Structure 1
């Protein structure tokens, strides 16, 4: 299937800036959704989503992935989120788009689910995890905190043992350390899509912006004048991956290699 035949078209943003505990960035959501769609369809021979489905770490309001499920016949997604409010919104989104037969979201700890028999039968995870770097979680939207370097949850996901990860990697959240850890665990970058984004309200919060400036000055990532790059990458442990594009990915994230 050519992904251009079923391109993801997201609705206009709701205007929600996190007042009810949700994050809404139309550009990032569209980039994430299309990237997941393209990577899954282009690498269907490598990633067994058609027979196993995929798991999702942190479904949020499900807007992005619900549109992917609607666009890609045969795709099933099992999402998990620790926020009851997010799960409620996700289920409404899924119902509104009519994909409830192929997309489910449950309340709970993803990593506990990963250790369950169902989790053991799934080899592919998609995730756009919290990645705001800050000294602590006392920020405008604590749900977006990704630890000191912003990559805490990605590093934990790498260690969970899944064979295929489609994950968002921002340029200011120490992506070089993330990819080094991935390589040590046997992952290769099959491919990726990168996009430049402007700092939003959460990245621009003085406490966060100052921390990002310190991290990037120390070589733990890259950020421009109020901008950064996010890549959605397919990391795989499959020996069938034709090449490792880790170096290309770091260059796309504006890092020297």
Structure 2
């Protein structure tokens, strides 16, 4: 369906990040909040592969994606583990949770008149990611693109008291959405201003676990910045 985000490689990567950085670290009945659940497949796949005693509350604006997600949740009898609300997290009461997780919209463009407007991440692509890091959750897992002003996100996270606790990186080819001529041209402009990093048709997508800084957290921010800009 054209009005639902579809990129199996990216969804599988998000699922792997969820499993490695969140689900397998949950020792009790943790509550997880998810921004932008889409069709729900990354979380559903993770829940089917792992034991998880908590509850994930997802928020998804796209009604078509929300309906597909709930149908699959019902099919796999996960209604007590994964609850998706057809609303925006930013406009909700923002439930208390141990983790906030998201594969947020990160496409940079002058405006949201692109193939799929809900994938618009602001002029530099980092707007929504940076908003999520301003909600003050203890642990935040987000996917960050190397062409979406990643250094601004790392700087903002530091200002908000976060350290990079762990990360995984996936090289990805520009796909259907990022190859939209309007988007690609804008990314080229960002690159000239050292706000986007890519090589040929490839960019990096990083799954990053941010934790509120404390003595026990080793900060990997500098290592991540080197990886993301080394293109």
Scaled to the shorter chain, the TM-score interval is over 0.9
Runs of 5+ in structure 2 lacking a partner?
none
CA distance in 1, matches of 2:12, 2:165: 21
Equivalence for 2:164: 189
SS of 2:113 mapped into structure 1: coil
Does residue 93 of structure 1 match 2:65? no
Does residue 58 of structure 1 match 2:36? yes
Aligned match for 1:166, one of 126, 132, 141: 141
Equivalence for 2:47: 69
Aligned residues: 230
SS of 2:229 mapped into structure 1: coil
CA distance in 1, matches of 2:27, 2:149: 29
Does residue 134 of structure 1 match 2:116? no
CA distance in 2, matches of 1:183, 1:255: 21
Moved more, 140-149 or 66-75: 66-75
Q: CA deviation at 1:75?
A: 4.0
* 8 Å contact kept, 1:176–1:221: no
Equivalence for 1:79: 58
CA deviation digits over 1:34-73, x for unaligned, max 9? 111011256x2xxx67333200001100011111122221
Aligned match for 2:118, one of 139, 143, 148: 143
Q: CA deviation at 1:238?
A: 4.8
* 8 Å contact kept, 2:163–2:217: no
Q: CA deviation at 1:98?
A: 2.5
CA 167–244 in structure 1, closer or farther in 2 if over 3 Å, else same: same
Does residue 203 of structure 1 match 2:178? yes
The 5 A counterparts of 1:1-257 are 16=1, 19=2, 21-41=3-23, 44=25, 50-73=28-51, 74-113=53-92, 115-116=93-94, 119=95, 121-239=96-214, 241-255=216-230
Runs of 4+ in 1 over 2 A off after TM superposition: 48-52
* 8 Å contact kept, 1:190–1:241: no
* 8 Å contact kept, 2:171–2:202: yes
* 8 Å contact kept, 1:40–1:49: no
* RMSD of equivalent CA atoms: 1.7
Runs of 5+ in structure 1 lacking a partner?
1-15
Moved more, 33-42 or 181-190: 33-42
Q: CA deviation at 1:96?
A: 2.3
CA distance in 1, matches of 2:8, 2:216: 31
* 8 Å contact kept, 2:30–2:54: no
